[in-house]
Amino acid sequence: MKKTLFTMAILLLVIIGCKKIMPPSPKDDELLDGPVEGLTTAETQQFLKGDVAFNDDIFTPQNGLGPIFVANSCGSCHAGDGKGHPFTTLTRFGQIDSTGNQWLSFGAPQLQNRAIPGYTPETLPSGVGFSKILPPANTGLGFLDAVSDVDIIAMSDPSDADADGISGVPNWVNIPSYCQLRPNAIPQGGKYIGRYGKKGAAYDLLQQTANAYNQDMGINTTFEPYDTYSKLEVDPEVSNSTVHNVVFYLKTLKAPIQRSQNDGDVQTGKQIFVSIGCEKCHKSELRTGASSISALSNKTFSPYTDLLLHNMGAGLDDNYTEGSAKTYEWKTPALWGLGLSKNSQGGSYFLMHDGRAHSIEAAIQMHGGEGQQSNTNFQNLSESDKQKLIKFLESL
Amino acid sequence: MKHLITVTFFILSAHISFSQIDTSKVKRTPTDTSKMQLNLDAVYNRPFLQYGKIPVAIGGYAEANTQYAVTDGVTEGFSFQMRRMTLFLSSSIHRKIKFLTEIEFEDGTKEINIEFAALDFQFHHLLNFRGGIIMNPIGAFNQNHDGPRWEFIDRPISATQLLPSTFSNVGFGFYGKVYKSNYVWAYELYLTNGLNDNIIGNAENKTFLPATKLNPDRFEESFNGEPLTSAKTTLRVRKIGELGLSYMGGVYNKFQEDGLILDKKRRADVVAVDFNTTIPKANTVITTEFAWTFVDVPDTYTQQFGKKQHGGFIDIVQPIIKKKMFGFEKASFNAAVRAEYVDWNVGTFKETGGNIADEIFAIVPAISFRTSPQTVIRLNYRYEWQKDLLGNPAARTGAIQFGVSSYF
């Protein structure tokens, strides 16, 4: 009897102790994935469906992969919804000005550098301009989507009227027929403001998602029905509802949460960030307009981008572009989540549009053109101030 | 030879019960518990029930458990699982011809598989012919996987997610043994239907040999017309232990169809080493197995699918108390631990030269109570670290598992 009681007591202790010996959740500010606060139950369910499609759907030759492709799942490029790794860098080529891409018949705009067995992947035509594009983080995209065109245009300064050396222009793009215009969208010459992609050439998350299915994975949808290999219109390989769920997932991923906000060095670093001119492009505060997702409506958020194109100098001119952007112009990347990048890039930094910078300091030093003055200002900082600035950036 | 003929309870089929057959005529076929048994013998060395002199014996085992698992603080709560129920049926057709089949129901009736169904013809102790659905003898676990034999609820990761555990195919082959006073040596050599290209095109997003089991036609026809070769040699030395070396390999892709060449022949090859021993006096049982796979993945395919993999496990089981307990005559209380590791993608990224991770490490302390050697009640605590392809911070999973498993 004593033995029985002893055994039962041991088992009871084990059961009670279960929760104490289980791995805890990482802090919310250490994760990039997870939904924005305030979703309704129905919205949460759609978020979960999109999460599954984005992170768990693996494409194989049996269910439509390729036959030429870059990656075989969304999650391959965006581990934990963070920045990508050079392993899945995209190569885009063929367009050097706003007249459009002249190399479409050679597989442009994107190189599919992998193929399922029995097929041959594409190779880059000789002499063509191209850019390597590192997959970006997915976080907070819905907030960026909900910024009004008016606000974006208000931040632009095409002729540098204030003579601060920073211009900033939207990328005016043609939009595909399946995209719905945002309320109060502002056209210019029949084109609209693009806000996704390193050049800002995708109008919205539906276009970005449909293009990724098609050009990254060789998966056709009713939105992008032409196979990248045969160039023929083929049956859709994922449903419209799956695409919409993924778009909803991307739109409702939370914004990264800044860490160590009360740290004195971080606060000083932020002041330095502003004082040396970084904040002129990497805007610390934007505001959303009305959104059909109430959790995204009329919110103030801190992405550290202005969603505008800037001349980044000859060093970052790859002789390739998209939309109305020049080859030396790049959309200001959002800096939120920067400090968590290593957690999705295998423990190392791969920064700038193609991952060429392996530290934040190196990335700053690669800023030319409109970013040159801030770069110079950074070089002139004391080592202590440089470290405070970097500590601030790593807190984002 | 020391016999441990243990029977803790009798379960007969409904047919036998309702037919009111004289149960005194039902006898349990003894398992061979000599120290010179090999993993090769596991398929026949099971407790069977036989009625009278009918040359047919039946048996089986069942295992069920509950588990509470948490990954990085997120849990789906408690689950109760009926992992598997397996039925054996064996028949002595002739003194030198026998048949055995093993039918497994996994997760209720989610998966129903004929894991083994083979006829054995003994021409000589060194020359036995086996034909039918056989278990490819790669590693030791594939042959010796019955739940009641193990102190751990989960099968080893290297046996289920690197090697295709309970991988069986239609084929023929030979096996044989040589017994001497201090050692026994055995060999097995089979040709069977083989692998298929699911191993580099699957929802696991990695080179995954177990995905070859998804081909429902593998008992009907070869995927590519190329046989899979399985071979194993085993040496057991009394007082030292059993060492096995095994190989399995063949072409996995469909390289031709209707006489047209589609691709070159691409091979998948596996080599495994297994060892088990019992340390004298302490009676500590050590079981270990390590495997290496080599897969000819096209260079133009994604690096997501590794060309080399390796992994293995080591189990240490220490009997603590062996005596009559709770009314069970030959009960034992054991402590055990398993350490296991698998790297599904051994290599470096072409783009950066950095290590490709895609690996898992787990440690599983356990306690078990055996009412007899055929029945086990076990409590496992599992903690594992799993890294993705890029080597990002590991996802940590903890799990408490409690379950029972028994032959019947």
pLDDT of residue A259: 96
Total tally of structural domains belonging to chain B: 1
Chain B CB contacts of A341 below 8 Å: none
Q: Are A256 and A336 in contact (CB under 8 A)?
A: yes
Distance between CA B294 and CA B344 in Å, rounded? 11
A-facing residues of B in 134-193 (CB < 8 A) are: none
Within-domain flag for A272: yes
The reply to whether B347 falls in a domain is: yes
Check the CA dihedral A234-A237-A240-A246 and report its sign. Answer: negative
Query: What range does the domain containing A178 cover?
Result: 29-395
Which residues of B are less than 8 Å from A81 in CB distance? none
Phi-psi domain of A127 (left: phi exceeds 0; alpha: psi -120 through 50; beta: other)? left
Residues 299-358, chain A, touching B (beta carbon < 8 A) = 343-348
Count how many domains chain A has.
Answer: 1
Q: Give residue B7's pLDDT.
A: 34
C-alpha–C-alpha distance, residues A138 and A196, integer Å: 10
Is B19 within a domain?
A: yes
pLDDT of residue A16: 63
Tens of pLDDT along chain B (408 residues) come to 344 333 333 333 334 344 455 556 666 666 655 557 788 888 788 888 887 778 889 999 999 999 999 999 999 898 999 999 999 999 989 999 999 999 999 888 888 989 999 999 999 999 999 999 999 999 999 889 999 999 999 999 999 999 987 888 999 999 999 999 899 999 999 999 989 999 999 999 999 999 999 888 888 889 999 999 999 999 999 889 999 999 999 999 999 998 999 999 999 999 999 999 999 989 999 999 999 999 999 999 999 999 999 999 999 999 999 999 999 999 999 999 999 999 999 999 999 999 999 999 999 999 999 999 999 999 999 999 999 999 999 999 999 999 999 999
Residue A324 forms part of a structural domain: yes
Q: Is A55 on the interface with B (CB under 8 A)?
A: no
Assess if residue B279 is contained within a domain. Answer: yes
- Substitution target in B300, B324, B344 with the highest count of A β-carbons within 10 Å is B300
The verdict on a CB contact (< 8 Å) between B73 and A71 is no
B398 touches chain A (CB under 8 A): yes
Domain assignment of residue A92, yes or no? yes
Note whether residue B5 is domain-resident.
no
Which of A25, A80, A120 is nearest residue B74 as measured by Cβ atoms? A25
Report yes or no on A219 lying in a domain: yes
Residue A279 distance to chain B (closest CA, Å):
30
A137 touches chain B (CB under 8 A): no
B chain contacts of residue A87, beta-carbon cutoff 8 Å = 303, 349, 351-352, 389-390
Contact B392 A347 (CB under 8 A): yes
Q: Which among B263, B303, B393 has CB closest to A117?
A: B263
CATH number at residue B230: 2.40.160.10
Domain-located, residue A14: no
Distant-in-sequence, close-in-space partners of B121: CB < 8 Å, separation ≥ 6: B96, B97, B128, B129, B130
- pLDDT score at A10: 67
CA–CA min distance A365, chain B (Å): 22
pLDDT of residue A4: 63
For the segment A20-47, what is each residue's pLDDT rounded down to a tens digit?
Answer: 789 999 999 999 999 999 999 999 999 9
Phi then psi for residue A81, to 5 deg, are: 65, 15
The span from the CA of A10 to the CA of A28, in Å, is 34
Instruction: List, run by run, the mean pLDDT of 10-residue segments along chain A (396 residues).
Output: 65 65 91 94 97 96 94 94 94 90 90 94 93 95 96 95 93 95 93 96 97 97 96 96 98 96 96 97 96 96 97 95 94 96 95 96 97 97 97 97
In a domain, A43, yes or no: yes
The three-point CA angle B201-B203-B204 to 5° equals: 95
Residue at A15 is within a domain? no
Q: What pLDDT sits at residue A97?
A: 87
Q: Tokens 């003894």 appear where?
A: B30
pLDDT in tens, B84-127: 999 999 998 999 999 999 999 988 888 898 999 999 999 999 99
Report the C-alpha dihedral over residues A173, A175, A180, A184, rounded to 10 degrees.
30
| pLDDT computed for residue B17 by the predictor | 41
Q: Which residues of A touch B304 (CB under 8 A)?
A: 71-72, 76
- Secondary structure (DSSP) of A48-115: HHHHHHHHT----GGGT--SEES-SSHHHHSGGGS---GGG-EEEES--STT--S-GGGTTTEE--EE
Inside any domain, residue A3? no
CB count within 10 Å of CB A210 equals: 26
User: According to the model, what pLDDT value does residue B133 have?
Assistant: 94
Range of the domain at B279: 14-407
